[in-house]
Structure 1
Amino acid sequence: MKDDARLQAAIDLLETIAGTSRPADGTAAAFFRDRRFIGSKDRRAISMRVWGTMRHWARLTWWFREAAADTWANGERPDWDSIRPRARILTYLVLVEGMGLAGVDGLCTGEIYAPRPLNEHERAVVRFLRGKPLNHNGMPVWVRGEVPAWVATYLKDIYGDHLPTLLDALTKEAPVDLRVNTLKCDRDNAIIALAEGTDEESVEAVPGHYSPLALRLAGRANLAATNAFRGGLVEVQDEGSQLVALLAGARPGMSVVDFCAGAGGKTLALAAEMQNKGRLVACDVSQGRVDRSAERLKRAGAHNVTRRVLSSETDKWVKRSKGTYDRVLIDAPCSGTGTWRRNPDAKWRMSEEMLAELTALQARILRSAARLAKPGGRVIYATCSLLPEENERQVESFLAEQGAAYRLLSVADLWPELVNPAVPCPVSGPYLRLDPAEHDTDGFFVAVLERLETATPEAPGAEDEPQA
């Protein structure tokens, strides 16, 4: 494809992403699947431009509004949400790729497959933006940090002076991390297998920093085409997510439940820690997610997993099974703020109202699922969120409600035994709180709770659902 056609495809893709509630990665996959004539190099170039625009969304919008106010006759700034994806991509071409009017004009020719020519307003905007820096001292913190204003306010309380550094890290492209599947190989052999790569290229991987099972790719690669991936030797999993599974402390012969299993990433890690010995139940409220995990489990050689679809967090199975599990992992549905460097579109879909709904759901899930732990068993509560409302405050509220039924264990104390005695624990307190700026992982939170009582009282809101 010529670059003008790539640019129009990028505009079309960004329009498609903006017009749906689906995640951007799934939308992009469907977009390219419907356009098989677009080759792999073209897909990469189009995706880089689209994801680059999304990573700079707030700053591009701020600058376009400044340019519009300066160049349009009425001097007004357009509404934040009314600015079209084409305008943002044109702004990206100037501010990030460094194009001038001649370069943008040369792409927007109106010829077949090319974007339509610039109108007079767009030409004025391009001239105004030429030579401007992407960052500007007049930008609010939330604009420079590429997050909604309300999120910056929430994060300021816990991150303080570290907030600008954190927000900057969230705008960067995330690395690709792999977890070595110990059911099939060790880390050294996985590195060798990856180096064999594909017919087109080898795949270079280096050990991670915290997890003894982690590998980090040196660059981008067609991982799905490698024998190492197809043979189940490795799985794509952020190193922070691997730490969540390791802190569960699942061991061979235990009974373990992954209560919010999703597509099964942490289930696979738990099965490997259990060496396929014991009982592992993967639960989710989505039949689709449970079904999609089947192929991953088969590829990894995980044989001790039972998949179960729940009607809700208070499914009758929970009450029937209470007090029977050694470990209960609750990877709770959350805002996903810790993964925003991977999903830059998600930050603009989140609202305070949605956060309130999520925190209420998290509290209900924690109350109900905790009943599954046997005396002496552990409940591992985790999110991929940076917001204290979804993390520490949830755990504090749960412990206050439960009285003496559970106690909070220190992650720092558990670390040498469960994670990696050769690497110091990255935190000193009871919680594991990771962020991409300080730890170079996605943002994760983990709390480990131990059940102390021999009988768990019925928690408020944890009763069975009414009969239909």
Structure 2
Amino acid sequence: MTPSARLSAAIEVLSDIETRRRPAPDALKDWGLAHRFAGSKDRAAIASLVYDCLRRRASSAHVMGEATPRAILLGALALARGQSRAEIAALCTGERFAPEALTAAEAKALDKLDLSKAPAAVAGDFPDWLSDDLAAAFGDEVVAEMTALSARAPIDIRVNTLKTERMRLVPELAHLHPELTPHAPTGLRFGHGDDGRGPTLQVTPEFLKGLFEIQDEGSQLVASMTGVGPDMQVVDLCAGGGGKTLELAALMDNSGQIYATDSDARRLAPIHDRLARAGARNVQVRTPKTRGDEPLADLADKIDLVLVDAPCTGVGTWRRNPDTKWRVRPGALDERMKEQDFVLARAAKLVKRGGRIAYVTCSVLPRENDERVKAFLASNPAFASVDPQEILALAPDTLSERDDLVSPGGYGIQLTPRRTGTDGFFLAIVERVK
């Protein structure tokens, strides 16, 4: 397919998403099935276009003066990809499978690209109903922070130190042009091409040997800042597929014991193969037998550290999942907050005196972060908040003196794309003192 034909296909997919109000992955899959002539590179390029449009949907519609799929695509080519009017016009000729030529109004809008009078939710490309929450998080910097959260994310990996070292892996992946992550000491970063595609790392021999895991640098950092160490008794309470479990095992150098569980047994399915591939031998998976079953009952008052990688809205991952920001609803936030309170209460039963709970979300919303910690402490007088400065002391040197990373409510640390070049992650630690 020509670049112009890919634009037309992206408009078609965007129309399907809008008309049928369906997730972008579903629309892209159906388009691919209906257009089998399109190769894998074409499908990937079209998906990249669609996701760039979703990243900048509100601002694109604003600068173009309308919210049609075509207008959003044209605006996104300029705002997300930095293409000039002339470059866009060269793709929109109306010939063969290309979109129709630019109108005079479209050409004028692309020359102007005026967001100066746009509301914050438009300029920052986020749902208007989250305006108060995000203003509470970022104040006057909300547009700058959310614009950074609308950009493409790089691909980060965590080198598995149970099997190799970062500088030993670099030459083995040299053909993919890795760079050292700015902060995480065991991370490597890979960029993407103009079409938005990054390297397919999961098929490399190094991945299949368990030498690395794909993991955002922010996720790597919060796990390393929990204070986990060798010979500890640790619970990963919301382990899911095991991403942070694997990192904890490496940080503990396969010593001590990690108990990995999740309220949904289906989410645990991938963890067994991943543990075997990584060579993690200090992990015991506890799968609930029935809904509501507590597979950790025998561990009450015995655990040094409980990691609560809490269910959340995922606002901090919008760079990677731009479709979700337009699909999340207030009811979902309310439900996540209830789940967060529940899992923190569950964690409290496991921690011994002097033990700690590390509360993590991939969110930037204070209601999911500081406010949940505050509510937990109010109802659990045996626990006290750990000073964020103590958490920062566990960070790499590049971050350890960054007072600007302390969260708005003062209970934890907030990472963001703008501040740290990572996804948005929150970490707070509470200690059982009685």
**Alignment counterpart, residue 155 of structure 1, candidates 134, 137, 148:** 134
Unaligned runs of 5+ in 2: 193-197
Change (3 A) 1:357 1:280: same
**Alignment counterpart, residue 107 of structure 2, candidates 130, 133, 139:** 130
Q: Distance in 2 between matches of 1:422 and 1:156?
A: 27
The Cα shift of 1:380 comes to 0.5
1:426 aligns with 2:426: no
Q: What is the aligned partner in structure 2 of residue 285 from structure 1?
A: 263
Q: What is the aligned partner in structure 2 of residue 377 from structure 1?
A: 355
Q: Distance in 2 between matches of 1:449 and 1:94?
A: 45
Q: What is the aligned partner in structure 2 of residue 55 from structure 1?
A: 55
Q: What is the aligned partner in structure 1 of residue 72 from structure 2?
A: 88
**Alignment counterpart, residue 410 of structure 1, candidates 387, 391, 413:** 387
Q: Distance in 1 between matches of 2:316 and 2:419?
A: 12
**Alignment counterpart, residue 355 of structure 1, candidates 293, 312, 333:** 333
Q: Distance in 2 between matches of 1:312 and 1:374?
A: 26
Moved over 4 A (4+): 15-22, 24-37, 90-105, 311-314
Identity of matched residues, %: 38
Change (3 A) 1:324 1:31: farther
Change (3 A) 1:260 1:92: same
Change (3 A) 1:37 1:324: farther
* CA contact 1:177–1:236 (8 Å) conserved in 2: yes
Q: Distance in 2 between matches of 1:258 and 1:296?
A: 15
Q: Which amino acid aligns with 1:436?
A: P
Q: Which amino acid aligns with 2:259?
A: V
Report which of the two structures shows the higher radius of gyration computed on alpha carbons.
1
Q: Distance in 2 between matches of 1:6 and 1:264?
A: 37
Q: What is the aligned partner in structure 1 of residue 180 from structure 2?
A: 207
Q: Distance in 1 between matches of 2:234 and 2:143?
A: 39
The Cα shift of 1:289 comes to 2.0
Q: Distance in 2 between matches of 1:126 and 1:92?
A: 17
The Cα shift of 1:149 comes to 1.1
Change (3 A) 1:430 1:387: closer
* CA contact 2:287–2:295 (8 Å) conserved in 1: no
* CA contact 1:324–1:373 (8 Å) conserved in 2: yes
Change (3 A) 1:438 1:102: closer
* CA contact 2:3–2:91 (8 Å) conserved in 1: no
How many matched pairs? 418
Q: Distance in 1 between matches of 2:330 and 2:183?
A: 33
1:447 aligns with 2:428: yes
Q: Which amino acid aligns with 2:429?
A: V
Q: Which amino acid aligns with 2:158?
A: R
Unaligned runs of 5+ in 1: 68-82, 196-201, 454-468
Q: Distance in 2 between matches of 1:244 and 1:140?
A: 33
The Cα shift of 1:397 comes to 0.8
Q: What is the aligned partner in structure 1 of residue 7 from structure 2?
A: 7
* CA contact 1:287–1:309 (8 Å) conserved in 2: yes
Q: Distance in 2 between matches of 1:183 and 1:33?
A: 41
Q: Distance in 1 between matches of 2:10 and 2:172?
A: 35
Q: What is the aligned partner in structure 2 of residue 393 from structure 1?
A: 371
* CA contact 1:380–1:448 (8 Å) conserved in 2: yes
1:46 aligns with 2:55: no
The Cα shift of 1:35 comes to 6.2
Q: Distance in 2 between matches of 1:228 and 1:314?
A: 39
Q: What is the aligned partner in structure 1 of residue 322 from structure 2?
A: 344
Q: Name which of structure 1's ranges 423-432 and 391-400 shifts more when overlaid on structure 2.
A: 423-432
Change (3 A) 1:188 1:36: farther
Q: Name which of structure 1's ranges 239-248 and 142-151 shifts more when overlaid on structure 2.
A: 239-248
Q: Name which of structure 1's ranges 435-444 and 382-391 shifts more when overlaid on structure 2.
A: 435-444
Q: Which amino acid aligns with 2:179?
A: V
SS of corresponding position for 2:295: helix
The Cα shift of 1:191 comes to 1.4
Q: What is the aligned partner in structure 1 of residue 195 from structure 2?
A: none
The Cα shift of 1:367 comes to 1.0
Q: Name which of structure 1's ranges 8-17 and 322-331 shifts more when overlaid on structure 2.
A: 8-17
* CA contact 1:94–1:126 (8 Å) conserved in 2: no
